[in-house]
Structure 1
């Protein structure tokens, strides 16, 4: 049996009242291990209620255990709300200020709702004071509540209907005014010299951000990196970005640098790209530019695209078009259509969109070329020129006629018939 028992059925009257001008109003001490110093039990309201105008409503202190411990089987273990300050503030000189642990759900969950109705508990004894403060009198406890008022000149609350017989812990619903104050922050992490927010996981996502119409994760810094990513993995990247919309035009990674100093992206190490690279500015290389292709080509409008397949010898045609060669020792020779055999162009100039049929023509370098040895066997090193066979080269047997009509030099021989041979293009 308890040493002190306080019981009352009168409204607005405490069962036990403790009051002190210089120390605790009520102090409970328990010497039995595992038992609380003070216990508050209420089947339908708060077990313990603390209120203060100037200091902490409830304060818990411990040298070795939890300062305040909250546990719930089906609901929130600890719930904190504030209208102008922190809903929950945790501070520690040597360890975590706030720790959230969950075996099957969120360890810590933060949500911000600027314009949602808020419910909280308030002693009925404070109701008259609150109503007078906002300039509305409540003549009867069964009244329908206070009317609307100007939130810019009075308190930012609206009182709603009260029951006929309110209890000392009467629940009230308060609605903050719809001021369109902007977006609230679900979770804020701040630190002077350490981490503002730390997420750790052994086998899953440490920190995840999701947004329907805003930024999923936002990082900023005044004097250091806005976001920093490090991995020790042998295969995966430190930062991975995907744009999963197959019809979207946005980039998976976008970087922009303000001003003319510095660069938007810096890579210390190699860069590997599997797709096309489009550059609107200049390209400057301090060392070599290496291309896997074999020739230096340029796009031309083609007069007879059906016949001008890779390896075909081309000559100047009407206007700005090239056409398939069809005469021996033609000084109009322009080059060979690039891409035959296992050679591909290394550089293509004048690549542009056009309603004309355009193809790359090798002007310098190695290219596979159609050749016809019926005019004479071709050996390695022979100079080649146009032939009467459309699109085919032949050995330049007549030096006088070959001047200005040479395609290049054969890199492989062709004893008879027709075929593709590698040629070092060098127009002369």
Structure 2
């Protein structure tokens, strides 16, 4: 039986009231193991409620155990709300400020909402219920360009990247009325003076996961070091993997931007392997060799007919090339690249994917149509145009061959017609 019993049925009246000008209003002490100093029970409301106008609503201290221990079977063990500050704030000099453990759900769950009115708790007199919940970050005040954001357009639709948030995040937390649906809130904020602000560890699953329907999934910023740092010891997987899974999307999987003219947007210490096309708007500078797997130096031309790779081409009307059809033609321009197992190494004047334009080899190795009926072709013979459309032949008349030479045969052709490798050298 309790030594002191306070009972009342009057609304908003305490069963027990303790007041003090210089010490605790109510103090409970218990020497029994695992028994609380003060116990509050309520089947339908708070078991213990603490309120203060200028200091802690509830102050809990312990030398060897938890300062506050909260347990719930079906709801939140500890639930914190704040009008102008942190809902829950944890600090520690030697270990974690806040620890969250869960066997079946999130150890720590944080949520930020700026579209719903304040409905929690019994408000203080100075709190305006028409105001919306506080938020951390800048508001998107402009319909096209976000305040505190930048727009970039890599030949695609607009996308936005937020600036780094100022370091004094607590000073930015204020009760104000944002435009409905346009605020930027942060569900969880982790801060540290010298250690990790947020640490996630997992043996076989994702250590830290960020998901967002319309904002940034994971955001990292730093004043003097890397905004995000990724390291892996895996033999096969990458330290950072980026995917754009929208098959119709035009945005990049990775976007990097460097302000100013000093430094670079991307730096790779090691090789770079690309399986797709590379488009460069600026200059390309190489300190060492540029190695191309292709065999010839070609340039795109407008083709007047349905000429195929390996065809000998001559200058035609206007800016078009035509298939050769005369012997010793000084209008010879080159051979259409891409026949056999040779491909162009460099293509100039690549304007579009227009099928009327084709690369013509001007220098280098290319497979060329040849006709040995005008004379057997041996390795090293000079070749010129022939009367057979699109075919080369052995140049036997030095005077007529001047200015009409295609190049040298790299392989012979004793009779008939066929494709032979040729070293293109127009002269």
TM bracket (short chain) = 0.7 to 0.9
Question: What is the match of residue 169 of structure 1?
Answer: none
Question: What is the match of residue 86 of structure 1?
Answer: 86
Change (3 A) 1:269 1:418: same
Which sits farther off after the overlay, 381-390 or 23-32? 23-32
How far, CA to CA, are the matches of 1:379 and 1:320 in structure 2?
A: 34
Question: What is the match of residue 342 of structure 2?
Answer: 343
**Residue 422 of structure 1: CA displacement?**
0.7
TM-score, normalization by structure 2: 0.84
**Residue 7 of structure 1: CA displacement?**
2.3
Contact 2:118 2:129 in 1 (8 A): no
Q: State whether structure 2 residue 200 is matched by structure 1 residue 228.
A: no
How far, CA to CA, are the matches of 1:375 and 1:203 in structure 2?
A: 74
How far, CA to CA, are the matches of 2:345 and 2:390 in structure 1?
A: 22
CA-to-partner distance for each residue in 1:201-234, whole Å, 9 max, x for gaps?
A: 2222222222222222222222222222222221
Change (3 A) 1:317 1:122: closer
Q: Secondary structure at the match of 1:118?
A: coil
Question: What is the match of residue 76 of structure 1?
Answer: 76
Change (3 A) 1:111 1:349: same
Question: What is the match of residue 14 of structure 1?
Answer: 14
Alignment of 1:20-419 (within 5 A): 20-122=20-122, 130=125, 155-157=127-129, 178=177, 180=179, 182-304=183-305, 306=306, 308-353=307-352, 357-419=356-418
**Residue 15 of structure 1: CA displacement?**
2.3
How far, CA to CA, are the matches of 2:372 and 2:393 in structure 1?
A: 6
Change (3 A) 1:303 1:67: same
**Residue 9 of structure 1: CA displacement?**
2.6
Change (3 A) 1:354 1:216: closer
**Residue 122 of structure 1: CA displacement?**
4.2
How far, CA to CA, are the matches of 1:200 and 1:354 in structure 2?
A: 50
**Residue 8 of structure 1: CA displacement?**
2.6
TM-score, normalization by structure 1: 0.84
How far, CA to CA, are the matches of 2:54 and 2:25 in structure 1?
A: 16
Q: How many residues align?
A: 382
Contact 1:115 1:177 in 2 (8 A): no
**Residue 373 of structure 1: CA displacement?**
1.2
Q: Which structure is larger by alpha-carbon Rg, 1 or 2? A: 1
Q: Secondary structure at the match of 1:249?
A: coil
Contact 1:296 1:362 in 2 (8 A): yes
Q: Structure 2 regions of 5+ residues with no counterpart?
A: 131-174
How far, CA to CA, are the matches of 2:332 and 2:11 in structure 1?
A: 109
Contact 2:378 2:412 in 1 (8 A): yes
Q: Secondary structure at the match of 2:292?
A: coil
CA-to-partner distance for each residue in 1:59-109, whole Å, 9 max, x for gaps?
A: 222222211111111111110111122211111111000011111111111
Contact 2:411 2:420 in 1 (8 A): yes
